[in-house]
């Protein structure tokens, strides 16, 4: 085993790799850009080397600097993580030329899978099923059009160098073929510098099911079961799970065997993923899957495989890279069901735009796996992928895992940055997904319901108003018993009735229990659990996984609210002023009795909310006042 390795990555995957390395006694070297100088992965690693400025082109994509950092620090191996240089064959060659071990496949294996047409030829030869179509060298317009006719419409034209959905054109009608062919060629040239295309039968209701494989340097190869990654949006995976819903033993065996053949055909070493497309309309059949591409790296969604197999894929990568063998196929078993959700910093209603911000609160529930490269207080910057965390749950059954995911998303608390947490919560509750009836079009079809503004439960505004004030633990207060609270410019009267009872503009809120941010509240006859926070001039309430918030108007800003503010003592109810115990100019301590009122045969003492000076006294002994009347104003000392 290596004694020291460098992690050529950042964020959650760098942290993930470092943790396993330390568990195995391997020392670690992190690399970082200026934006990441105090990032979590830098803090976790034994050593860290600055490699450049924040943009990835000036840091994490600079192979030479990364290799220099490895040599300087005496690292023996380089783990590329995913993205960045992980599937760059020139980088692999440069690492090896420097006398270092690349923790991943050979440059030739990466190249073999780099172009779709060549990969399909290789896979066909290895008896791996491929989507019916034409993937040869003849790029003549008329020839390709004839091929499309033979395959039968609809067809899909794919740029051979394409990826992530780029350079793909669906054609439903031969009259539109040439136009689409040219569009796919243009996209292929512009994005990948390659205008070669292939033609495939279009699968109408595609499901994305991938097989995790592992190869070693002794010719061994095994699979670690499948993952279903059909829930995608614009070719970005959103939820992944294992096993695939509806997977039969027979189909898994066929798919696993095909994936192992694919790996062996290219002499694959390390962790890889063979992606298959499956026709969801026909149900899962042992002869109904086709090779799409192979990802020659550790994938983002590897935790679901770890959850069901109990294996540490990074540990296996290190063992294989240092000459070890893959486990026996029979020793790899699949237990229960795992689901991963990718939590992103994004503005979902605005069309899933990446969001940025400082994560003032970042709280995840216990009992689930969290892979994250950020901590509370960290910034989500515009330079890198806006993923905040991966949340992975494991259960005996899919239903149990789904329930665990739902619960975990509801208990996830992120403030400071817009996130897709509520979107994910709705997605896992979506009936088709819950039933395992999904394909890659599900999110787009259900988008309206998945991104709609939440229906505000009755009384949320009242709860926000109660939460907006710092009433103190247990609500035994010195503050006036009735306050004006401004929320986003709207003034609400919050009346304290005692014992956790409030009346907000006539609506009753009863706070039954509080434990930190967790409140149990009665809102208009319903008892709800709410997560309540006041932070930086805003108030946040999460009920049933849906988030509501409001800006708290500054009480000292009289334009917003004349009567508001902790220094204003207001009659909590209609009654008689019995005593006025202070005069203008008096210095008083917090808690000092200032005004005594009598109402409904009960005495109420209004006390100084803070150390200060009495300003105006508006109450006079014997006066009958209405609820909400200002009795006295205090000023800060
Ligand atoms: C397809 C297909 C339908 N028929 N191929 C999209 C990205 C690339 N990896 C392959 N993709 C597709 N290939 C045929 N013959 C539909 C897709 C596709 C898709 C595949 C996997 C996951 C999400 C997808 C979303 C839209 C289209």
Q: How far is CA 281 from CA 206, 243, 384, 490, 594, in A?
A: 8, 19, 37, 52, 75
Query: Quick check: 495 and 484 in contact, CB under 8 A?
Result: no
pLDDT at 557: 44
Measure the CA–CA gap between 33 and 35, rounded to whole angstroms: 5
Is the pLDDT at 550 greater than 90, yes or no? yes
Measure the CA–CA gap between 532 and 553, rounded to whole angstroms: 17
Q: Mean pLDDT across the chain, nearest whole number?
A: 91
Is the pLDDT at 74 greater than 60, yes or no? yes
Determine the residue of 115, 168, 197, 442 to mutate for testing ligand 1's pocket, defined as the one with the most ligand atoms within 8 A of the Cβ atom: 168
CA atoms within 13 Å, Cβ hemisphere of 384: 27
Q: Which two tokens stand for residue 605?
A: 């003492």
Determine the residue of 115, 169, 292, 447 to mutate for testing ligand 1's pocket, defined as the one with the most ligand atoms within 8 A of the Cβ atom: 292
Q: Which residues touch 546 (CB under 8 Å, ≥6 apart)?
A: 422, 425, 454
CATH of 568-636, one of 3.30.1360.120, 2.60.40.1260, 2.40.50.100, 3.40.50.720: 2.40.50.100
Is the pLDDT at 536 greater than 70, yes or no? yes
Query: Quick check: 359 and 414 in contact, CB under 8 A?
Result: yes
d(CA 291, ligand 1 centre) in Å: 11
d(CA 206, ligand 1 centre) in Å: 7
Q: Specify the higher pLDDT residue, 544 or 165.
A: 544
Domain ranges of the chain: 4-103, 132-201, 206-451, 460-551, 568-636
Closest protein CA for atom 26 of ligand 1: 440
pLDDT at 525: 82
Measure the CA–CA gap between 122 and 110, rounded to whole angstroms: 13
Determine the residue of 172, 235, 289, 291 to mutate for testing ligand 1's pocket, defined as the one with the most ligand atoms within 8 A of the Cβ atom: 235
Region 353-376 average pLDDT: 94
pLDDT at 565: 57
Q: Which two tokens stand for residue 45?
A: 């690693």
d(CA 384, ligand 1 centre) in Å: 26
Residue 167 — very low, low, confident or very high, per pLDDT cuts 50/70/90? confident
Region 405-409 average pLDDT: 96
Determine the residue of 165, 171, 205 to mutate for testing ligand 1's pocket, defined as the one with the most ligand atoms within 8 A of the Cβ atom: 165
Closest protein CA for atom 6 of ligand 1: 165
Region 352-381 average pLDDT: 94
d(CA 301, ligand 1 centre) in Å: 18
pLDDT in tens, 97-128: 999 999 999 999 999 998 888 999 999 999 99
Measure the CA–CA gap between 456 and 548, rounded to whole angstroms: 8
- Ligand 1 atom index nearest CA of 155: 15
- Ligand 1 atom index nearest CA of 165: 7
pLDDT at 475: 45
Partners of 346 in the β-ladder: 354
Residue 8 — very low, low, confident or very high, per pLDDT cuts 50/70/90? very high
Closest CA relative to residue 424, chosen from 359, 355, 346: 346
Region 521-550 average pLDDT: 91
Determine the residue of 201, 206, 438 to mutate for testing ligand 1's pocket, defined as the one with the most ligand atoms within 8 A of the Cβ atom: 206
d(CA 156, ligand 1 centre) in Å: 9
Measure the CA–CA gap between 52 and 65, rounded to whole angstroms: 9
Determine whether 297 is an active site residue. yes
Cis before residue 243, ω within 30 degrees of 0?
yes
User: At the fourth CATH level, which superfamily is domain 206-451?
Assistant: ATP-grasp fold, B domain (3.30.470.20)
d(CA 220, ligand 1 centre) in Å: 30
Is the pLDDT at 478 greater than 90, yes or no? no
Is the pLDDT at 476 greater than 80, yes or no? no
Is the pLDDT at 29 greater than 90, yes or no? yes
- Percentage of residues in the chain with pLDDT exceeding 90? 72
Q: Which of 16, 65, 169, 297 is catalytic?
A: 297
- Ligand 1 atom index nearest CA of 203: 4
- What is the CATH topology of the domain spanning 132-201? Dna Ligase; domain 1 (3.30.1490)
- Ligand 1 atom index nearest CA of 162: 8
- Ligand 1 atom index nearest CA of 204: 3
Region 226-238 average pLDDT: 95
Minimum mean pLDDT among 21-30, 466-475, 495-504, 573-582: which range? 466-475
Closest protein CA for atom 12 of ligand 1: 165
Q: Specify the higher pLDDT residue, 495 or 108.
A: 108
Minimum mean pLDDT among 241-255, 330-344, 572-586: which range? 572-586
Is the pLDDT at 479 greater than 60, yes or no? no
Of 49-58, 190-199, 608-617, highest mean pLDDT:
49-58
Q: Which residue has the tokens 């008329």?
A: 142
d(CA 553, ligand 1 centre) in Å: 49
pLDDT at 471: 59
Closest protein CA for atom 16 of ligand 1: 206
- Ligand 1 atom index nearest CA of 232: 23
pLDDT in tens, 554-563: 654 433 333 4
- Ligand 1 atom index nearest CA of 202: 4
By three-state DSSP, how is residue 366 classified?
coil
Region 376-387 average pLDDT: 93
Q: Which residue has the tokens 């014997």?
A: 622
pLDDT at 555: 54
- Percentage of residues in the chain with pLDDT exceeding 70? 95
Region 191-217 average pLDDT: 94
Residues with Cβ within 6 A of ligand 1?
131, 156, 165, 200-203, 206, 208, 232, 235, 277, 292-293, 440
d(CA 295, ligand 1 centre) in Å: 15
d(CA 582, ligand 1 centre) in Å: 77
pLDDT in tens, 241-264: 999 999 999 999 999 999 999 999
Closest protein CA for atom 21 of ligand 1: 208
Q: Specify the higher pLDDT residue, 634 or 479.
A: 634
Is the pLDDT at 84 greater than 50, yes or no? yes
Measure the CA–CA gap between 124 and 333, rounded to whole angstroms: 29
- What is the CATH topology of the domain spanning 4-103? Rossmann fold (3.40.50)
Closest protein CA for atom 8 of ligand 1: 165
Contacts by 184-191, CB closer than 8 A, 24 or more apart: 184/157, 184/158, 184/159, 185/159, 187/159, 187/162, 188/159, 188/160, 188/161, 188/162, 191/159, 191/161, 191/162, 191/166, 191/167
CA atoms within 13 Å, Cβ hemisphere of 14: 27
pLDDT at 470: 64
């Amino acid at each position: 085993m290596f004694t020291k390795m460098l992690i050529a990555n950042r964020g959650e995957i760098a942290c993930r790799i470092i943790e396993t390395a330390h568990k195995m006694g391997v020392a670690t070297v992190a690399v970082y850009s200026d934006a990441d100088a105090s990032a979590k992965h830098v803090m976790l690693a034994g050593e860290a080397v600055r490699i450049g400025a924040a943009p990835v082109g000036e840091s994490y994509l600079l192979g030479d600097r990364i290799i220099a950092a490895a040599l300087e620090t005496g690292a023996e191996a380089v783990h590329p993580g995913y993205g960045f240089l992980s599937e760059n064959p020139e980088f692999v060659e440069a690492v090896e030329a420097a006398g270092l071990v690349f923790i991943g496949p050979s440059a030739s294996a990466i190249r073999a899978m780099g172009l779709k047409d060549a990969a399909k030829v290789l896979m066909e030869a290895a008896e791996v099923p491929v989507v019916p179509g034409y993937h040869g060298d003849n790029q003549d317009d008329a020839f390709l059009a004839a091929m499309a006719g033979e395959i039968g419409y609809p067809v899909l034209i794919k740029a051979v160098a394409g990826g992530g959905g780029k350079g793909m054109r669906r054609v439903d009608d031969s009259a539109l073929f040439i136009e689409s062919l040219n569009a796919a060629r243009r996209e292929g040239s512009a994005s990948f510098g390659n205008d070669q295309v292939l033609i495939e039968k279009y699968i109408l209701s595609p499901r994305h099911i991938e097989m995790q494989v592992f190869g070693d340097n002794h010719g061994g190869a095994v699979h670690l079961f499948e993952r279903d990654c059909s829930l995608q949006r614009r070719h970005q995976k959103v939820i992944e799970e294992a096993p695939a819903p509806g997977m039969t033993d027979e189909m898994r065996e066929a798919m696993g065997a095909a994936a192992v053949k694919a790996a062996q055909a290219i002499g694959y070493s390390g962790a890889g993923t063979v992606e298959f497309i499956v026709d969801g309309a026909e149900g899962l059949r042992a002869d109904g899957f086709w090779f799409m591409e192979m990802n020659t790296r550790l994938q983002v969604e590897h935790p679901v495989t770890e959850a069901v197999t109990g294996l540490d894929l990074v540990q296996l990568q290190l063992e294989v890279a240092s000459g070890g063998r893959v486990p026996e196929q029979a020793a790899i078993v699949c237990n229960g069901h795992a689901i991963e959700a990718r939590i992103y910093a994004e503005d979902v209603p605005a069309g899933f735009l990446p969001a940025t911000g400082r994560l003032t609160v970042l709280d995840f529930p216990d009992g689930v796996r969290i892979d994250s490269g950020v901590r509370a207080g960290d910034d989500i910057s515009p330079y890198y992928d806006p993923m905040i965390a991966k949340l992975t749950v494991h259960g005996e059954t899919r239903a149990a895992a789904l329930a665990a995911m739902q619960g975990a998303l509801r208990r996830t608390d992120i403030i400071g940055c817009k996130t897709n947490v509520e979107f994910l919560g709705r997605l896992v509750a979506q009936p088709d997904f819950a039933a395992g009836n999904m394909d890659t079009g599900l999110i787009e079809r259900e988008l309206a319901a998945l991104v709609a503004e939440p229906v505000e439960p009755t009384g949320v505004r009242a709860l926000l108003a109660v939460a907006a004030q710092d009433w103190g633990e247990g609500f035994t207060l010195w503050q006036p018993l009735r306050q004006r609270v401004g929320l986003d410019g709207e003034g609400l009267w919050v009346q304290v009735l005692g014992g956790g009872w409030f009346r907000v503009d006539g609506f009753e809120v009863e706070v039954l229990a509080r434990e930190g941010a967790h409140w149990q509240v009665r809102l208009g006859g319903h008892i709800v659990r709410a997560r309540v926070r006041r932070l930086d001039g805003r108030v946040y309430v999460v009920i049933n996984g849906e988030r509501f918030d409001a800006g708290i108007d500054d009480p000292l800003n009289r334009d917003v609210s004349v009567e508001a503010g902790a220094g204003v003592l207001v009659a909590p109810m209609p009654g008689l002023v019995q005593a006025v115990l202070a005069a203008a100019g008096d210095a008083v301590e917090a808690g000092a009795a200032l005004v005594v009122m009598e109402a409904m045969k009960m005495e109420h003492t209004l006390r100084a909310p803070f150390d200060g000076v009495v300003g105006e006294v508006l109450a006079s002994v014997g006066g009958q006042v209405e609820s909400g009347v200002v009795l006295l104003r205090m000023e800060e000392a």
